[in-house]
Amino acid sequence: MKKEPLQLHHKNLLSERLKSLSLSISEYSFPNLYLFREIHKYEVLIGKEIFIRGITYDKHRYLMPAFDITKCDKNHLIEMMLNVDFLFPIDESWLGYFDEEIFDFTAKKCDMDYVYTTEKMKTFSGRKLHKKRNLMKQFLETYKHSEYPLIESRKLDAFDILDTWQRDMSLEGELTDYEPCKEALMLSEELSICGVIYYADDEPAGFILGEELNPETFVMHFVKAKKKFKGIYQYMYNSFANLLPVKYKYLNYEQDLGREALRITKNSYIPDLMIKKYRIALKK
Protein backbone atom coordinates (compact mmCIF):
# COMPACT_ATOMS: atom_id res chain seq x y z
CA MET A 1 0.00 0.00 0.00
CA LYS A 2 1.25 3.46 -0.94
CA LYS A 3 1.06 6.20 1.73
CA GLU A 4 1.36 9.91 0.86
CA PRO A 5 0.75 13.16 2.76
CA LEU A 6 -2.39 14.71 1.29
CA GLN A 7 -1.44 17.37 -1.28
CA LEU A 8 -3.15 19.49 -3.92
CA HIS A 9 -2.36 17.01 -6.70
CA HIS A 10 -4.59 14.45 -4.94
CA LYS A 11 -7.59 16.47 -6.12
CA ASN A 12 -7.57 14.46 -9.37
CA LEU A 13 -7.63 11.22 -7.39
CA LEU A 14 -10.18 12.15 -4.71
CA SER A 15 -12.53 14.90 -5.78
CA GLU A 16 -14.88 12.99 -8.07
CA ARG A 17 -14.69 9.86 -5.91
CA LEU A 18 -15.95 11.80 -2.92
CA LYS A 19 -18.64 13.66 -4.88
CA SER A 20 -19.93 10.40 -6.39
CA LEU A 21 -20.85 9.20 -2.89
CA SER A 22 -23.42 12.04 -2.69
CA LEU A 23 -23.21 12.22 1.11
CA SER A 24 -24.28 15.13 3.32
CA ILE A 25 -21.22 14.96 5.62
CA SER A 26 -18.97 17.99 5.14
CA GLU A 27 -15.69 16.06 5.32
CA TYR A 28 -16.51 14.25 2.05
CA SER A 29 -15.15 17.19 0.09
CA PHE A 30 -11.64 17.54 -1.27
CA PRO A 31 -11.34 21.26 -0.36
CA ASN A 32 -12.31 20.45 3.23
CA LEU A 33 -9.67 17.72 3.43
CA TYR A 34 -6.97 19.78 1.76
CA LEU A 35 -7.50 22.99 3.73
CA PHE A 36 -7.41 21.16 7.07
CA ARG A 37 -4.65 18.70 6.12
CA GLU A 38 -2.15 20.14 8.61
CA ILE A 39 -4.59 20.17 11.52
CA HIS A 40 -5.65 16.56 10.94
CA LYS A 41 -2.32 15.26 9.57
CA TYR A 42 -4.10 13.74 6.59
CA GLU A 43 -2.46 10.96 4.60
CA VAL A 44 -3.78 9.24 1.48
CA LEU A 45 -3.53 5.44 1.60
CA ILE A 46 -3.66 3.94 -1.89
CA GLY A 47 -4.05 0.19 -2.21
CA LYS A 48 -6.92 -2.18 -2.85
CA GLU A 49 -9.13 0.73 -1.81
CA ILE A 50 -8.39 4.40 -1.08
CA PHE A 51 -8.56 5.67 2.50
CA ILE A 52 -7.72 8.95 4.16
CA ARG A 53 -5.93 8.56 7.48
CA GLY A 54 -6.13 11.42 9.95
CA ILE A 55 -6.32 12.54 13.57
CA THR A 56 -9.53 13.88 15.09
CA TYR A 57 -9.73 17.11 17.10
CA ASP A 58 -9.74 14.93 20.23
CA LYS A 59 -6.51 13.22 19.10
CA HIS A 60 -7.73 9.83 17.89
CA ARG A 61 -6.33 8.22 14.75
CA TYR A 62 -8.94 7.26 12.17
CA LEU A 63 -9.57 6.06 8.64
CA MET A 64 -12.03 7.74 6.30
CA PRO A 65 -13.09 5.71 3.25
CA ALA A 66 -12.93 7.50 -0.11
CA PHE A 67 -15.40 4.97 -1.52
CA ASP A 68 -18.69 3.26 -0.63
CA ILE A 69 -17.67 1.33 2.47
CA THR A 70 -20.51 -1.17 2.02
CA LYS A 71 -18.70 -2.52 -1.07
CA CYS A 72 -15.52 -3.25 0.89
CA ASP A 73 -14.37 -6.77 1.72
CA LYS A 74 -14.97 -7.01 5.47
CA ASN A 75 -11.80 -8.97 6.23
CA HIS A 76 -9.73 -6.37 4.39
CA LEU A 77 -11.49 -3.59 6.28
CA ILE A 78 -10.83 -5.22 9.64
CA GLU A 79 -7.16 -5.60 8.73
CA MET A 80 -6.98 -1.89 7.82
CA MET A 81 -8.66 -0.92 11.11
CA LEU A 82 -6.07 -2.67 13.28
CA ASN A 83 -3.74 0.33 13.03
CA VAL A 84 -6.26 3.07 13.90
CA ASP A 85 -8.78 3.80 16.64
CA PHE A 86 -11.85 3.80 14.39
CA LEU A 87 -13.44 4.58 11.04
CA PHE A 88 -14.77 8.15 10.78
CA PRO A 89 -16.89 9.93 9.64
CA ILE A 90 -19.30 7.15 8.71
CA ASP A 91 -22.69 8.05 7.28
CA GLU A 92 -25.84 6.69 8.90
CA SER A 93 -26.83 5.06 5.60
CA TRP A 94 -23.77 2.79 5.88
CA LEU A 95 -24.45 1.43 9.37
CA GLY A 96 -26.27 -1.68 8.13
CA TYR A 97 -22.97 -2.98 6.74
CA PHE A 98 -21.40 -3.24 10.19
CA ASP A 99 -22.06 -6.33 12.30
CA GLU A 100 -22.85 -5.27 15.88
CA GLU A 101 -21.03 -8.36 17.18
CA ILE A 102 -17.80 -7.10 15.63
CA PHE A 103 -18.08 -3.30 15.65
CA ASP A 104 -18.95 -0.56 18.15
CA PHE A 105 -20.88 2.54 17.01
CA THR A 106 -20.64 6.00 18.57
CA ALA A 107 -21.46 9.55 17.43
CA LYS A 108 -20.44 12.77 19.20
CA LYS A 109 -22.59 15.90 19.20
CA CYS A 110 -19.59 18.13 18.54
CA ASP A 111 -18.93 16.27 15.25
CA MET A 112 -22.46 16.72 13.86
CA ASP A 113 -23.08 19.02 10.89
CA TYR A 114 -25.78 21.69 11.17
CA VAL A 115 -28.03 21.68 8.10
CA TYR A 116 -30.76 24.20 7.26
CA THR A 117 -33.22 24.37 4.41
CA THR A 118 -32.30 27.02 1.89
CA GLU A 119 -35.90 28.24 2.11
CA LYS A 120 -35.44 28.99 5.82
CA MET A 121 -32.41 31.17 5.16
CA LYS A 122 -34.19 32.86 2.24
CA THR A 123 -37.05 34.03 4.43
CA PHE A 124 -36.19 33.76 8.17
CA SER A 125 -39.92 33.10 8.52
CA GLY A 126 -41.58 32.20 11.80
CA ARG A 127 -41.59 33.52 15.35
CA LYS A 128 -38.36 31.79 16.37
CA LEU A 129 -36.36 33.64 13.71
CA HIS A 130 -37.87 37.10 14.20
CA LYS A 131 -34.64 38.38 15.77
CA LYS A 132 -32.75 37.33 12.64
CA ARG A 133 -35.25 39.22 10.48
CA ASN A 134 -34.92 42.30 12.69
CA LEU A 135 -31.11 42.25 12.56
CA MET A 136 -31.17 41.93 8.78
CA LYS A 137 -33.70 44.78 8.56
CA GLN A 138 -31.47 46.98 10.72
CA PHE A 139 -28.51 46.25 8.47
CA LEU A 140 -30.44 47.00 5.29
CA GLU A 141 -31.78 50.27 6.71
CA THR A 142 -28.41 51.41 8.11
CA TYR A 143 -25.98 50.66 5.30
CA LYS A 144 -25.79 50.98 1.57
CA HIS A 145 -25.18 47.36 0.65
CA SER A 146 -23.97 45.39 -2.34
CA GLU A 147 -22.64 41.95 -3.22
CA TYR A 148 -20.38 40.56 -5.95
CA PRO A 149 -18.92 37.20 -6.95
CA LEU A 150 -15.70 36.64 -5.02
CA ILE A 151 -13.38 36.71 -8.02
CA GLU A 152 -9.63 37.36 -8.19
CA SER A 153 -9.97 41.15 -8.44
CA ARG A 154 -11.84 41.24 -5.11
CA LYS A 155 -9.57 38.97 -3.09
CA LEU A 156 -7.62 41.83 -1.49
CA ASP A 157 -10.93 43.04 -0.05
CA ALA A 158 -11.61 39.51 1.21
CA PHE A 159 -8.19 39.34 2.90
CA ASP A 160 -8.98 42.67 4.59
CA ILE A 161 -12.22 41.16 5.94
CA LEU A 162 -10.43 38.01 7.10
CA ASP A 163 -7.69 39.97 8.90
CA THR A 164 -10.27 42.17 10.63
CA TRP A 165 -12.31 39.09 11.61
CA GLN A 166 -9.21 37.51 13.13
CA ARG A 167 -8.45 40.65 15.17
CA ASP A 168 -12.08 40.79 16.31
CA MET A 169 -11.80 37.19 17.55
CA SER A 170 -9.05 38.10 20.05
CA LEU A 171 -7.55 34.63 19.61
CA GLU A 172 -4.26 33.47 18.14
CA GLY A 173 -4.50 32.39 14.51
CA GLU A 174 -3.77 28.76 15.32
CA LEU A 175 -6.90 28.67 17.52
CA THR A 176 -9.15 29.71 14.65
CA ASP A 177 -9.56 28.69 11.01
CA TYR A 178 -7.73 31.81 9.83
CA GLU A 179 -4.98 29.94 7.95
CA PRO A 180 -7.28 27.44 6.18
CA CYS A 181 -9.56 30.30 5.16
CA LYS A 182 -6.64 32.37 3.89
CA GLU A 183 -5.47 29.43 1.79
CA ALA A 184 -9.02 28.87 0.52
CA LEU A 185 -9.08 32.44 -0.77
CA MET A 186 -5.68 32.03 -2.42
CA LEU A 187 -6.57 28.70 -4.07
CA SER A 188 -10.30 29.09 -4.71
CA GLU A 189 -9.98 28.39 -8.44
CA GLU A 190 -7.67 25.39 -7.99
CA LEU A 191 -9.99 23.95 -5.31
CA SER A 192 -13.18 24.67 -7.30
CA ILE A 193 -14.82 26.62 -4.50
CA CYS A 194 -16.78 29.79 -5.01
CA GLY A 195 -18.24 32.62 -3.01
CA VAL A 196 -19.75 36.05 -2.65
CA ILE A 197 -18.25 39.17 -1.09
CA TYR A 198 -20.43 41.79 0.62
CA TYR A 199 -19.96 45.53 1.08
CA ALA A 200 -21.50 48.01 3.52
CA ASP A 201 -21.20 51.71 2.62
CA ASP A 202 -18.66 50.62 -0.01
CA GLU A 203 -16.41 49.02 2.63
CA PRO A 204 -15.59 45.29 2.41
CA ALA A 205 -17.82 43.80 5.11
CA GLY A 206 -18.06 40.04 4.76
CA PHE A 207 -17.77 37.00 2.50
CA ILE A 208 -18.93 33.41 2.10
CA LEU A 209 -16.92 30.58 0.50
CA GLY A 210 -18.28 27.12 -0.21
CA GLU A 211 -19.07 24.47 -2.80
CA GLU A 212 -21.57 21.86 -3.87
CA LEU A 213 -21.46 18.93 -1.44
CA ASN A 214 -24.09 16.85 -3.21
CA PRO A 215 -26.71 17.67 -5.89
CA GLU A 216 -29.09 19.13 -3.26
CA THR A 217 -26.65 20.55 -0.70
CA PHE A 218 -24.24 23.49 -0.68
CA VAL A 219 -21.63 23.46 2.10
CA MET A 220 -20.57 26.76 3.67
CA HIS A 221 -16.87 26.27 4.35
CA PHE A 222 -16.12 29.82 5.51
CA VAL A 223 -18.33 32.72 6.57
CA LYS A 224 -16.38 35.78 7.75
CA ALA A 225 -17.43 39.37 8.48
CA LYS A 226 -16.47 42.52 10.34
CA LYS A 227 -18.47 42.57 13.55
CA LYS A 228 -18.82 46.38 13.51
CA PHE A 229 -21.56 45.95 10.90
CA LYS A 230 -24.54 44.89 12.99
CA GLY A 231 -26.71 42.39 11.11
CA ILE A 232 -24.07 41.57 8.51
CA TYR A 233 -24.23 37.80 9.11
CA GLN A 234 -28.03 37.69 8.84
CA TYR A 235 -27.86 39.74 5.65
CA MET A 236 -25.19 37.46 4.14
CA TYR A 237 -26.99 34.23 5.03
CA ASN A 238 -30.23 35.52 3.55
CA SER A 239 -28.65 37.03 0.45
CA PHE A 240 -26.52 33.97 -0.28
CA ALA A 241 -29.50 31.62 0.01
CA ASN A 242 -31.38 33.77 -2.47
CA LEU A 243 -28.44 33.87 -4.90
CA LEU A 244 -27.91 30.10 -5.00
CA PRO A 245 -29.40 28.01 -7.82
CA VAL A 246 -32.80 26.60 -6.80
CA LYS A 247 -31.53 23.00 -6.96
CA TYR A 248 -29.77 23.47 -3.61
CA LYS A 249 -32.44 22.65 -1.05
CA TYR A 250 -30.06 22.48 1.91
CA LEU A 251 -27.19 24.47 3.38
CA ASN A 252 -24.59 22.63 5.46
CA TYR A 253 -22.92 24.94 8.01
CA GLU A 254 -20.59 22.19 9.30
CA GLN A 255 -19.93 21.27 12.96
CA ASP A 256 -19.50 23.33 16.13
CA LEU A 257 -16.23 21.63 17.22
CA GLY A 258 -17.56 21.52 20.79
CA ARG A 259 -17.20 25.30 21.08
CA GLU A 260 -20.01 26.82 23.09
CA ALA A 261 -20.23 30.09 21.11
CA LEU A 262 -20.51 28.20 17.81
CA ARG A 263 -23.09 25.82 19.27
CA ILE A 264 -25.28 28.67 20.49
CA THR A 265 -25.03 30.58 17.21
CA LYS A 266 -25.78 27.59 15.00
CA ASN A 267 -28.68 26.43 17.17
CA SER A 268 -30.16 29.93 17.10
CA TYR A 269 -31.02 29.41 13.42
CA ILE A 270 -32.97 26.24 14.34
CA PRO A 271 -31.26 23.50 12.29
CA ASP A 272 -33.56 21.35 10.19
CA LEU A 273 -31.14 18.42 10.23
CA MET A 274 -28.21 17.38 12.39
CA ILE A 275 -25.98 15.06 10.38
CA LYS A 276 -24.43 12.40 12.59
CA LYS A 277 -20.89 11.27 11.85
CA TYR A 278 -20.35 7.81 13.29
CA ARG A 279 -17.14 6.44 14.72
CA ILE A 280 -16.94 2.71 14.03
CA ALA A 281 -14.43 0.79 16.15
CA LEU A 282 -13.56 -2.87 16.46
CA LYS A 283 -14.94 -4.39 19.63
CA LYS A 284 -12.21 -5.03 22.16
Confidence of residue 173 (pLDDT cuts 50, 70, 90): low
Instruction: Give the residue from 150, 163, 264 showing the smallest Cα distance to 209.
Output: 150
Is residue 66 within 8 Å of 54, Cβ to Cβ? no
Q: How far apart are CA 248 and CA 145, in angstroms?
A: 25
pLDDT at position 171 over 80: no
pLDDT at position 210 over 90: yes
Is residue 52 within 8 Å of 229, Cβ to Cβ? no
- Alpha-carbon distances of 191 from 15, 29, 45, 114, 185, rounded to whole Å: 9, 10, 21, 23, 10
Task: Kindly state the helix (H) or strand (E) to which residue 15 belongs, with its residue range.
Answer: helix 11-20
Give the strand order in the sheet containing 194-200.
Answer: 145-149, 194-200, 203-214, 217-225, 250-252, 113-117, 273-275
pLDDT at 258: 86
pLDDT at position 216 over 90: yes
pLDDT at 172: 76
Per residue in 81-122, pLDDT (tens digit) is: 999 999 999 999 999 999 999 999 999 999 999 999 999 999
pLDDT at 1: 87
Per residue in 132-151, pLDDT (tens digit) is: 999 999 999 999 999 999 99
Confidence of residue 56 (pLDDT cuts 50, 70, 90): very high
pLDDT at position 279 over 90: yes
- Residue 199 C-alpha from the chain's centroid: 24
Q: How far apart are the first and last CA of the chain?
A: 26
pLDDT at position 236 over 70: yes
Task: Kindly state the helix (H) or strand (E) to which residue 113 belongs, with its residue range.
Answer: strand 113-117
SS3 state at 274: strand
Domains of the chain from N-terminus onward: 2-108+278-282 (3.40.630.30), 113-254 (3.40.630.30)
SS3 state at 126: coil
